[in-house]
Copies of this chain bind each other. A is one copy, B any other.
Amino acid sequence: MYAKGSKGSAVPSDSQAREKLALYVYEYLLHMGAQKSAQTFLSEIRWEKNIMLGEPPGFLHSWWCVFWDLYCMAPDCREACAPSSEPKAFPDF
């Protein structure tokens, strides 16, 4: 996976993805009102960087809802949404 290397080159980086996700999860916890859990999370993963938060509800919530909306709105999902067919409809969509 590509990271933005220190010299400006694009280099794959799993650690960058993990770092971003941790940040967005922290933001999510705060915006949900789970402040204690958010602070505990930072200390448990030993986060030491500055954090800039986005507006509520935060990136993670918004990103997830986009995909869940798409999944629920797909015509195949609406027509086929008996419990047994729901999981197959999304990859098809």
Interface residues of A (CB under 8 A from B): 1-4, 8, 10, 12-14, 16-18, 20-22, 25, 28-29, 32-38, 40-41, 44-45, 59-61, 63-65, 67-69, 72-73, 77-78, 81-83, 86, 91
Contact = CB atoms under 8 A, between A and B. Distances in A.
Nearest to A65: B17
Chain A interface mostly: helix
A83 to B, nearest CB: 7
What is the copy number of this chain in the assembly?
2
Contacts of A17: 64-65, 68-69
Contact of A28 (B14, B25, B35, B83): B25
Given A69-B17, A72-B10, A2 B34 contact: no
A60 B21 contact: yes
Contact of A44 (B22, B33, B73): B33
